[in-house]
Structure formats: structure tokens, C-alpha cells
Structure 1
Amino acid sequence: MGPYIFDALAWQESWDRQQEAFLPDREHRFAALLDVVAAVTTPDATPKILDLAGGTGSISLRALARFAGAELTVVDLDPSLLAIAAASLGERATIVTADLRDPAWTGRLPHRAYDAVLTATALHWLAPERLTALYAEIPGILRPGGVFVNADHMPDENLPDLTRRLVARADRHRESRYATGALPSWRDWWSRAAQDPALAPLVEERNRIYSEPHSGEWLPAVTWHLAALREAGFAESGVVWRGGPDAAVAGVTAAPVPAQ
């Protein structure tokens, strides 16, 4: 047997497959996020993008495929996922270890005027009061006319029964895929990562970091997010994508007033 080689792209693909079990329309939401970036930048721009709670850098990799010269920052706390991001992205992105529960996280960033802050399926782990505060912190790291987009489970409160049915249907389909071995479950993926020679010590560190009980998933209706963005000081806020019970909300900072 030859020497072990850590294959970051293989782990990246494995992570994508595992995530797709939860989010069959995952690529659609990523595309919607990048459409927003394109809308607030010029065609020849090299946008500064913050991949917030970015994990393995899934958004960043897709951003680079669309905006070749993008300046990317990936922020997360998980050492194992960030190791995959760093190996996959190399010098094309700045990797930042920061805890979004701590308001000091913005002090670790390499830029203070991002064109876009993007996040997907991550901020639901924050407690309500912390997510509210985080929303208020983000305008301070965006340029005038910059945009923040958060895609997550954000049900339409006018469709409570239909939302319940959509979620139940998705759960049944996911369990069937697990049962056939078509896709790895979250638990299976982490079990495999814990056996990888390169990732094992990082998974142990991750387990220590997250050893304290967290607040659990908090999944308010989309109207809560829109109100929180307005209260955070964004000049505009609204829904830019919806897929069943999930949505992406955007907040845009006030653009400079043109000279008369």
C-alpha cells in the first residue's frame, strides 16, 4: 500500500453528495445567490465575496467558477470542514476561523467593504437574539450598495399545512436514499471523516468545540428574516429565491447618492 494522500476534492464531492440528500435543490439556491452577486457588480468586476459559515467552501468554489477573479473569504469555526476548504481553494481564498456567536468575528476579516456576504443552510444554529445581532453586524462589512443573502429553511407562514406536507415528503425520500446506500447520511459522513488519517484529529477538535449543548435549530418564517433585515438597517430586503419550504432573503445596503 502506498503512502496516504489526502484528497480534498474527493472529500469535497462526498460533502456535496451528503448535503444533496438534505437539499435536492442545493445547486438552485447557490445559483440564485450568485445571480444576486452578478446583479450588484459589473460584468468585468472581481467581486469581494464573504462565504459566511462556509464550511468546505461550497459557495466559494461555485463563485470562482462564475467570477474567475473573485476575492473570497471563507469564515467558519469547524476545523475539519475548513481543512477541506483550504485544500480545495488553496491561494484562491482566505480562510478565517471565527465563532459567529462572538461579535468580535468581524475583526478577523481581511476586508471591510465586501460586495456580497453569502450564506446557505447554516445560520439556523444561532439563537434568535444572536442571529438578530449578526444581521445588524453585516452592513458594517459591506460596501454601499453591497448585498447580504441568506438561504435556509424559511417557511411561508401562509402555507403551514402545505409546508408540513412538503417537509414530510422530503424526509421520506431522504430516508429511502439512505436505506439504498445512494447517498451518505450526515452521521455516516462524519463517521468516515473520523477514520481519515488527515481529518481524524480535526474531527476530534471539532467535537471538543461543539461539546457544549447548542440552542438547536431555529427556523422562523421568512417574514421574521425580512423584518430583522429591515431593523438591521438594510435599505432594501426581500425574497430572491424560493424552493418549497426554503427561501433566500437578501438585504441591500444603501447605495451612495450620485453627485449632482
Structure 2
Amino acid sequence: MTPYALDARAWQESWDRQQEAYLPDREHRFAALLDAAEAATDARPLQLLDLAGGTGSISLRALARHPDAQVTVLDLDPVLLTIAEASLSGRATVVTADLNRADWPEALPHRAYDAVLTATALHWLDGPRLAELYREIRDVLRPGGVLVNADHMPDDALPTLTTRLSDRARQRRAARHQAGAALSWEGWWAQAAADPVLAPLVDKRQQIYPTGHSPEWTPPAGWHLDALRAAGFTEAGVLWRNGSDAAVAALR
């Protein structure tokens, strides 16, 4: 009997649709991240670190633009990394490391990246650790390299409007879930737990994150800019915004 093989394309598609229910502008934010990476790279092949990269969503889009890019995907989640490795098919280096540990750069195959991109992931870390991580990211960038972090970053100058926008987004998401147009976060993981290949990895993931792994700490963009400047970046600003989400960029 042929062993069950992971259908990487199907799982990648399923992940994208699940994420888009939470982030309808997901492709726009990815485009903003990749545009910034290209601007920092000059003419040579892009050397990119997809930080907390999950299934490799950013990496796949980077390689579609630049097939010669040298891409590293770093994450800790064994389920998402398995999908990333299968989807990328040897076109990127996939590494496992814990961003809560200061030694995570030791897992990297390179020491001087043109760009470090991350999206909707670093809210897993608390404030003191994220501030330290920004310093560590600076150290793995070449001079002139760029970090872009897209995440939930409310505008502290628009608290009332931001709350209303977030409420509307939740209502739209609930309608999509109720209509069956997309899986919820919980529904996606339930499907993964029923998959013959992914089920053992879901069990492993639960051991890594026994109580869940996200404090859901989402400070305003201003906090991130202050932390980036304190980490030694020469420039830091808001690159992109939509509602309560933003992308901050910083140059080494």
C-alpha cells in the first residue's frame, strides 16, 4: 500500500483561505512587505528571512517574484513547518527555532540578510521579549537591510474608530464562518488533527504549546517604532496600514 502523502497544495490553500477570513487584506500587506524588501536589495538576488513564517506564505510569494532569491523560513510550529517544507519543495531553507530564546539566530544558514519579513506572528511574544528580538533581528541584517513587521497594531490616535472597525471585521468574519466560506482557526486545526500525516505533529505542537502560545499582546504602532529605534535601527516608520492592522518598517 502506498503511504499517505501530504497534499501540500491543498493544505496551503486551506491555510490561506482560513487566514484571509481574519485578514481580508492579507495579499496587500504581503505586497507591501515584498516591495520594501526589493527596495532594500539593490540588484543582487534577494536574501530573505521569513521570520515566524508558518506555512511559508511570504516565501512562496517572494519566490514567485524572484525565483533566484535565497529564502529562509524560520518557525517553531511542526505542523506549519511541515506544510512549508512540502510546499517550497527545496526552494528555501526551512529551520526550526524558538523566538522566545535569544539563541534562535544559531539556526540560520546565513548571517547577513537583506530583509527580515514577518506577518501576524510576533504578537505571540510579550513586550520585553519583543523589544529584545528587535535588537537580535538588527544583528542578522546587513547594513541597509530592512525589517518589516505586519501585525495587529492599532492607531492610538483613533481609539474609537479602531474599535468600530475591529467590530465590523469580526462581524464579517463570523458571517463567513457561519456560511462555510472559510474555516475558523479552531476548525482548521481540527482538520489538521484528523489528517494521517499531520495528526502526530498536532500532538507534538500541543506539547510545545500546552496552554496556547499567544498572549495576544497588540500595542499600537507607536510602541513598535519606539522599540525599533531603541534597538538601534537608523530609520523606523509605518509602511502600511488598514484599520487596526499596520506594518512597521525599519532600516539597519
TM-score (norm 1): 0.94
Q: Report the alpha carbon displacement of residue 4 of structure 1 after superposing the two structures with TM.
A: 3.2
Match of 1:140 in 2: 139
- Structure 2 SS opposite 1:187: helix
Alpha-carbon separation, structure 2, partners of 1:108 and 1:38 = 24
The alignment status of 1:14 with 2:14, answered yes or no, reads yes
- Where do 1:1-80 residues align within 5 Å? 4-42=4-42, 44-80=43-79
Aligned to 2:191: 192
Structure 1 residues 66-215: aligned runs within 5 Å: 66-212=65-211, 214=213
* Counterpart position of 1:225: 224
Change (3 A) 1:119 1:215: closer
Q: Distance in 2 between matches of 1:93 and 1:140?
A: 21
State the Cα distance separating 1:244 from its structure 2 match: 1.2
Amino acid at match of 2:216: E
Deviation of the 1:29 alpha carbon: 0.2
Pair 185,215 (structure 1): closer, same or farther in 2 beyond 3 Å = closer
Distance 2:44 2:213 in 1: 40
Please give the alpha-carbon distance, in whole angstroms, between the structure 1 residues aligned to 2:12 and 2:159. 35
1:215 & 1:6 partners in 2: Cα distance?
27
**How many angstroms apart in 1 are the aligned matches of 2:226 and 2:126?**
16
Whole-Å separation in 2 of the counterparts to 1:3 and 1:104 = 37
Q: Deviations over 1:135-174 (max 9, x none)?
A: 0111110001000000001111010000000000000010
Residue type matched to 1:9 in 2? Answer: R
Per-residue deviation, 1:67: 1.2
**Paired residues of 2:135 and 2:231 also in contact (CA < 8 A):** yes
2:29 aligned partner, one-letter code: R
Q: Is the 8 A contact 2:40 2:114 kept in 1?
A: yes
Q: Secondary structure at the match of 2:250?
A: strand
Normalising to structure 2: TM-score of the pair?
Answer: 0.97
Number of equivalences: 252
* Compared CA separation, residues 214 and 59, structure 1 to 2 (3 A): closer
Look up the SS of the partner of 2:154 in the other structure.
Answer: coil
Counterpart mapping for 1:241-256 below 5 A: 241-253=240-252
How big is each residue's C-alpha offset from its partner over 1:57-87, in whole Å with a ceiling of 9 and x where there is no partner? 0000000011111100000000010000000
Q: Which amino acid aligns with 2:10?
A: A
Provide the rounded CA distance (Å) in 2 between the counterparts of 1:54 and 1:248.
16
Q: Taking every aligned residue pair, what percent have the same amino acid on both sides?
A: 65
Runs of 4+ in 1 over 6 A off after TM superposition: none
Distance in 2 between the 1:74 and 1:2 partners? Answer: 30
Unaligned runs of 5+ in 2: none
